[in-house]
């Protein structure tokens, strides 16, 4: 059967996960779906960080599917991985945004900007001006401070992306 032969060739080690640091917003959705923790997400008071260790990667493609930014691609290209090498083969580090009220970390700056762009693109025209005005303040506050300062109910605005 040719399917088995193709599948065997596919497993010989010709896959490589390519991560585009220009597209990645370090949101952590890739790490959340990784079954082997080959991709990890960390956020602290200074930075948001995504690390990928190819020696742990199954090349299952879950992270590729989870990435809203199309920053990850599985490419058929020879990529030698050393079994003993536990250091991440790729890492992306971005600065974070802090809540202007309490100082807690909200997300990476690039992630906050991306969410704002999604809102601008997908919001109903009849409330667009209000939502954009609110988002300028909303994006500078953590969820807890949003409720305190703005009196917002989490479902005040329902943003449905195209294709949902």
CA distance 99 to 137: 10
pLDDT for position 9: 42
Answer with the one of 72, 95, 118 that is the final residue of a domain.
95
Taking 80 as the threshold, does the pLDDT of residue 164 lie above it? no
> Does the pLDDT at position 70 exceed 90?
yes
Tens-digit pLDDT profile for residues 19-44 = 999 999 999 999 999 999 999 999 99
Residues 6+ positions from 104 with CB-CB distance below 8 Å: 98, 142, 144, 145
Helices 128-138 and 109-122 cross at an angle (nearest 10°) of: 170
Residues 84 and 18 occupy one common structural domain: yes
Domain ranges, residue 40: 14-95
Does the structure show a pLDDT above 80 at 89? no
DSSP 8-state symbol, 56? G
Same domain assignment for residues 31 and 76: yes
Tell me whether residue 157 is in a domain. Answer: no
pLDDT at 2: 38
In this structure, how many other beta carbons lie within 10 angstroms of the beta carbon of residue 34? 19
Q: Residue 109 has what pLDDT?
A: 92
Domain count, the chain: 2
Alpha carbon separation from 43 to 46, 51, 61, 84 (Å, rounded): 8, 12, 23, 27
Do residues 19 and 73 both lie within one domain? Answer: yes
Check whether residue 35 and residue 55 sit in a common domain.
yes
On the question of pLDDT at 101 being above 80, the answer is yes
């Amino acid at each position: 059967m040719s399917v088995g032969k193709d599948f065997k060739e596919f497993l010989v080690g010709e896959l490589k996960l390519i991560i585009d640091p220009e597209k990645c917003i370090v949101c952590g959705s890739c790490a959340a779906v990784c079954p082997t923790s080959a991709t990890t997400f960390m956020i602290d008071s200074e930075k948001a960080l995504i690390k990928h260790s190819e020696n742990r990667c199954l090349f299952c493609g879950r992270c590729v599917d989870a990435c809203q930014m199309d920053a990850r691609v599985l490419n058929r290209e020879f990529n030698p991985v050393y079994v003993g090498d536990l250091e991440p083969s790729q890492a992306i580090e971005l600065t974070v945004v802090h809540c202007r009220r309490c100082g807690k970390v909200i997300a990476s700056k690039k992630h906050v900007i991306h969410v704002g762009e999604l809102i601008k693109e997908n919001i109903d025209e009849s409330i667009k001006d209000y939502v954009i005005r609110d988002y300028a303040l909303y994006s500078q506050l953590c969820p807890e401070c949003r409720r305190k300062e703005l009196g917002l109910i989490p479902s005040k605005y329902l943003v449905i992306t195209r294709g949902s």
